[in-house]
């Protein structure tokens, strides 16, 4: 106790509680606890489980090994000599748990700064698991704050999103990660709107020609009249939510809308003439959704070509949108008004993006998830959604004229007086 009081004074100055805490964490299990707590927030379930198993194995091995060595080399541990073997055990454990010099401890968070200057992918299995409330958009490296978290309910960043870039740097893969994370909340419905042949590959991974190929909760729309109907439904839905919120009811069902390059251009220029009649007022409607949808759990992800540079959004929606910019190199006009090549200020490597928002930008490596894995996870999560979400989804499939859809628990057909599953009937028809 006297030592603790004495350490509160350094060079005649009173130490703060934070300084004392920092001093304590330099030694023994205080540092372990600090590192383990940090790692717990950083790691996903598999990483956490692996580190815990390794940590327990090392802990037991060191205690048993050093105790056996002491008994064999010195003799039994007594009341008078126990501090020395205890110190030896703690010192050895510190080497494994805290690390020393260039050796990282068992629960040390790795530094991903090197990935910002490499084409090496950052697998989704190497970042924290998404939750219904938030997910990791990317890793910036320790020096720049580590993970960048997107909080679906954030009041600081009223998040709608725009992904700017080309396929050269795997822009399309980021859509997989967004969908994967969005469906951490099972009560989610996603609209993937693809209106142009130029971006026709944008959502192909999530389409389904048959009932069994469909992804639960995901609706892919490729015809202008379908897109128009869906947009009108979204506007009606969040207007109804606005009324219910005034009466003290806050609906949590998440709606995520992805729009391709063609539709994104209409948000920038709503009065374009070379569009179909069905999309004539799409740009204005989508601006309304972007500006007001966040408070009603309606999220928009715009996909834009690389020539759509940051900070060019219409002013009424600009504060609401986080722009995720992949590397680019395009012809344009420089700050002096002369023709030249405009190049992104961040490194030109795969999956490295700059996040732009209100005159600030942050560089990070975004996680990579395969479309098949995303499909399977989304389908599995949507099965957990409540009955109302399923009813809305089935009703949308019918009303939007996407394709014939039969409720999963009702996919049984009577053939020859016997009840068979839809898949069995289809196989029989094919034969």
Q: Where are the domains of the chain?
A: 2-104, 114-394
Q: What is the pLDDT of residue 389?
A: 92
> Which residue(s) pair with 332 in the sheet?
340
Taking every pair of C-alpha atoms in the chain, what is the biggest distance, in angstroms? 95
Confidence of residue 20 (pLDDT cuts 50, 70, 90): low
Distance CA 273, CA 44 (A): 49
DSSP 8-state class, residue 12: T
pLDDT, tens digit (0-9, with 9 covering 90-100), for 102-149: 778 888 899 999 999 999 999 999 999 999 999 999 999 999 999 999
- Residues 6+ away with beta carbon under 8 Å from 94: 28, 31, 100
Q: Which of 72-81, 165-174, 296-305, 346-355 has the lowest mean pLDDT?
A: 72-81
The first and second tokens of residue 85, run together, are 């073997």
Q: What is the pLDDT of residues 291-334, one digit of tens each?
A: 988 888 899 999 988 888 888 888 889 888 999 999 988 877 76
Beta-strand pair 418-421/412-415: antiparallel
β-pair partners for 193: 221, 259
Rounded to whole angstroms, the Cα distance separating 191 from 233 reads 11
What's the pLDDT score for residue 8? 37
Is residue 190 within 8 Å of residue 182, measured between CB atoms?
yes
The secondary structure element, H or E, covering residue 264 is helix 261-268
Backbone angles phi, psi at 277, to 5 degrees: -60, -35
Q: Report the SS3 class of residue 368.
A: strand
- Residue 413: pLDDT band (50, 70, 90) is very low
Q: Which residue has the higher pLDDT, 61 or 5?
A: 61
Q: Which of 98, 120, 30 is nearest to 367 (CA)?
A: 120
Q: Assign domain 114-394 one CATH number from 3.40.50.620, 3.40.50.1980, 3.40.50.300, 3.20.20.190.
A: 3.40.50.300
Q: Which H/E stretch holds residue 151?
A: strand 147-151
Give the pLDDT band of residue 423 (cuts 50, 70, 90).
very low
295 with 341: CB under 8 angstroms?
no
Would you give the distance in Å from CA 324 to the centre of its chain? Answer: 13
Which of 6-20, 168-182, 320-334, 355-369 shows the lowest mean pLDDT across its residues?
A: 6-20
| Gap between the Cα atoms of 88 and 70, Å rounded | 10
Element (H, E) at 367: strand 367-368
pTM of the model: 0.79
Contacts of 28 (CB under 8 A, 6+ apart): 90, 94
Percent of the chain scoring above 70 in pLDDT: 81
DSSP class per residue in 67-132? HHHHHHHT----TTTTHHHHHHHHHHHHHHHTEETTEEPTTPPPP-GGGGGS---EEGGGSPPP-S
Higher per-residue confidence, 380 vs 89: 380
pLDDT category at 346 given cuts 50, 70, 90 is confident
Question: Residue 194, SS3?
Answer: coil
pLDDT-derived band at 286 (thresholds 50, 70, 90) equals very high
Q: Which pLDDT score is estimated for 49? A: 93
Q: Lowest mean pLDDT: which of 85-94, 234-243, 341-350, 418-427?
A: 418-427
Give the C-alpha separation, 348 to 342, whole Å: 13
E-strand ranges in 195-235 read 218-221
Phi, psi of 296 (to 5 degrees): -115, 20
361 and 311 Cβ atoms separated by less than 8 Å: no
1: pLDDT strictly greater than 50: no
Alpha helical stretches, state H, 314-355: none
Query: Mean pLDDT throughout 399-408?
Result: 61
Helix (H, G, I), strand (E, B) or coil at 363: strand
Average of per-residue pLDDT values in the chain: 81
Give the SS3 label for residue 370: coil
Rounded distance between C-alpha atoms, residue 221 and residue 224, angstroms? 8
Q: Let me know: does 345 contact 354? Beta carbons within 8 Å.
A: yes
């Amino acid at each position: 106790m006297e030592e603790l009081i004495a350490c509160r004074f350094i060079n005649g100055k009173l130490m703060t509680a934070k300084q004392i805490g920092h001093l304590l964490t330099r030694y023994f299990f205080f540092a372990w606890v600090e590192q383990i707590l940090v790692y717990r927030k950083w790691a996903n379930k598999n990483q956490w489980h692996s580190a815990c198993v390794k940590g327990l194995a090392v802990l037991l091995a060191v205690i048993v090994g050093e105790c056996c060595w002491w008994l064999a080399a010195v003799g039994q541990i007594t009341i008078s000599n126990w501090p020395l073997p205890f110190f030896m055990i703690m010192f050895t454990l510190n080497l494994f748990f805290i690390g020393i010099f260039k050796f990282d401890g068992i629960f040390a968070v790795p530094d991903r700064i090197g990935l910002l200057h490499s084409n090496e992918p950052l697998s989704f299995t190497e970042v924290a698991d998404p939750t219904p409330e938030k997910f990791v958009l990317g890793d910036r490296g320790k020096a720049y704050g580590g993970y960048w978290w997107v909080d679906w309910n954030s009041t600081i960043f009223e998040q709608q999103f725009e992904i700017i870039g080309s396929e050269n740097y795997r822009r399309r893969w980021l859509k997989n990660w967004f969908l994967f994370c969005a469906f951490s909340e099972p009560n989610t419905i996603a609209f993937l709107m693809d209106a142009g042949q130029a971006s026709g590959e944008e959502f192909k991974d999530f389409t389904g020609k048959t009932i069994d190929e469909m992804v639960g909760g995901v609706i892919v729309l490729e015809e202008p009249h379908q897109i128009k109907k869906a947009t009108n439904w979204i506007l009606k839905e969040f207007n109804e939510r606005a009324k219910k919120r005034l009466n003290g009811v806050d609906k949590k069902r998440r709606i995520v809308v992805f729009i391709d390059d063609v539709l994104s251009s209409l948000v920038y220029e709503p009065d374009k003439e070379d569009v179909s009649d069905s999309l004539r007022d799409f740009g204005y409607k989508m601006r309304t959704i972007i500006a007001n949808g966040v408070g009603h759990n309606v999220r928009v992800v715009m996909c834009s070509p690389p020539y759509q540079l940051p900070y060019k959004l219409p002013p009424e929606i600009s504060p609401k949108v986080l722009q995720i910019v992949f590397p680019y190199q395009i012809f344009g006009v420089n700050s002096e008004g002369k023709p030249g090549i405009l190049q992104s200020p961040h490194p030109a490597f795969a999956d490295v993006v700059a996040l732009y928002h209100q005159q600030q930008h942050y560089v990070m490596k975004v996680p990579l998830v395969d479309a098949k894995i995303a499909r399977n996870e989304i389908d599995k999560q949507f099965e957990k959604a409540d009955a109302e979400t399923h009813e809305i989804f089935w009703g949308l499939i019918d009303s939007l004229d996407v394709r014939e859809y039969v409720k999963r628990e009702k996919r049984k057909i009577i053939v020859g007086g016997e009840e068979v599953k839809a898949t069995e009937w289809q196989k029989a028809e094919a034969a």
